[in-house]
Amino acid sequence: MSLNIEFIGNSKASHTLYIIIAKKDSLNKHNFSDLFKQEASEFLKENKQEVLTLYKDKQKINAFIYINTETEYSAKLDNARVFGSIIYKTLCKDKSTACTLTGLNDLNEKEIYALLEGMLISSYRFDKYKKNKSVAKKLYIEKGSISADKLQELKHVTAAQNIARDLVNEPVITLNAIALSSAIQKLGKTYGFSVKVLHKNEIQKLKMGGLLGVNRGSDDPPTFNILEYKPKTAKNKNPLILVGKGVVYDTGGYNLKISGFMSTMKCDMAGAAAVIGAFCAIAANKLNAHVIGLIPATDNRIGHNALVQDDIITMYDGTTVEIQNTDAEGRLILADALSYAKKYHPKLVIDLATLTGAAAAVTGHYGIGLMGTADKKTIQQLMESGEEVYERCIEFPFWKEFDELLKSEIADLKNIGGAVGGASTAGKFLKHFTDYPWIHLDIAGPAFIKEGAKGYQQKGATGVGVRLLYNFVKKIK
Ligand code: BES
Ligand code: MG
Ligand code: ZN
């Protein structure tokens, strides 16, 4: 994190001053020159967002004319985030390492939160492998613009999102399944949630054939990670379970990803990263919810023993699966985790996975594909949580006809469907292993941005899912 937001202390520091002007009245508050006032009011009249520079007593002042004309709640908040990123970019051009931002009080509390959130999210850099690191900036804001608790919550959540982004951006050469487990254990100690790592011998004893099957081509062993956050104040009797796809690299296996499709496949553990990030955010903010996380982790590679088409494997719950495509590996490892989840009698299970290119083709990086068996109200709640943080979910068809496409003549299931509905058949495959209310989120589209990052987004890992899950868990009753 290269932006540190603090409240203005008692000492008057001579930082560059930034002012947000969102209301006409505010122009009179600041003792601006008539010329500036005239210019600014023109923009305000025209509903135009602008960045203006003026000088007062030789001090350079940057004024942001902030006009949020969006009326719809979700879009309005996101506009505030985008504006936060515009402010952050202006700040970056400034040589001083500390800046002061005033005028936030022109905005309502939710907008202020979103604006600062946009600044924090856009300040992320994955520069651990660069000689030239980004410089840390300090931003002072006025006391009373946002409560100290809210600011702390925001810092925790965006830091957790950045943890997810760091994990996804890390290549497999430094982050195999074992390293991912070590990272989870370390975070568990720091943030206050328990972590149990099952290693290959235990996974073998449990006969998790899906996870072991995908791992067959690898020199690195798989892991199965169990995270638990259980405060005494937990409101839910039965746990909420979060399952994350932890394919630390997806080469496709023998159905090799060719013609460039392998590039970015370090992001295939973004579901796992979202779960890990959500745990950090939930524990740091001490939410009153009992949450369990399940993360099956392995890479998907070629090796002399790797799965091939026509193999039949037996999953953790005894289901046999005919392998028809080794690149449909995510569902195999998730199936074992979903079967494992049954023993906790969960209130709800949500899985997050970069599962299908088909989902990405529908959503782009703008949203998440949602399917499942949870009741309408729960799905609605999750979708609303998504709108608020702008990690929007869209319901994909989950028709019974898609079940038919997974039938195998020689095993209980095959691991791919037909030519159509790739995201839906992947979801249906997973459904087979659930017997509780369940929601599947296909994040293949929004997990990683290769091209076309805008506003507060950046190229690379997005950390999608962290703010969505946090916001959803916060509302658990
Ligand atoms: N990890 C991929 C899905 C993916 C694609 C994630 C693009 C992020 C961006 C997944 O394991 C996969 O390869 N799915 C196949 C399934 C197919 C073989 C049925 C796909 O979508 O092509
Ligand atoms: Mg694959
Ligand atoms: Zn994959």
Query: E strand or H helix at 322, and its extent?
Result: strand 320-322
CA 456 / ligand 2 centre spacing (Å): 29
Catalytic residue among 331, 347, 428, 431: 331
**From the CA of 253, how far away is ligand 3's center (Å)?**
10
- Interatomic CA distance for residues 248 and 281, integer angstroms: 22
Q: Is 257 an active-site residue?
A: yes
Can you tell me the distance from the alpha carbon of 133 to that of 422, in angstroms, rounded to the nearest whole number?
41
Tell me the residues surrounding ligand 2 (ion) with CB < 5 Å: 250, 327, 329
Amino acid at 185: Q
Which atom from ligand 1 is nearest to the alpha carbon of 356? 21
Point out the ligand 1 atom lying closest to the alpha carbon of residue 354: 6
Known active-site residue 237: no
- Ligand nearest to the Cα of 267, by number: 1
Residues lining ligand 1, Cβ inside 6 A: 250, 268, 325, 327-330, 354-358, 360, 416, 422, 444
**Which residues on neighbouring strands pair with residue 228, listed in sequence order?**
194, 292
Q: How many CA atoms lie within 13 A of 271 on its CB side?
A: 34
Which positions of the chain have pLDDT values less than 70?
Answer: 1, 10-14, 55-59
Ligand 2 centroid to Cα of residue 219, in Å, is 18
Pocket test for ligand 1, best of 355, 365, 415, 462 (most atoms within 8 A of CB): 355
Dist. CA 303 → ligand 2 center (Å): 16
Pairwise CA distance, residues 290 & 353, whole Å:
22
Tokens of 438: 């369940």
Residue with the two structure tokens 């995908």: 214
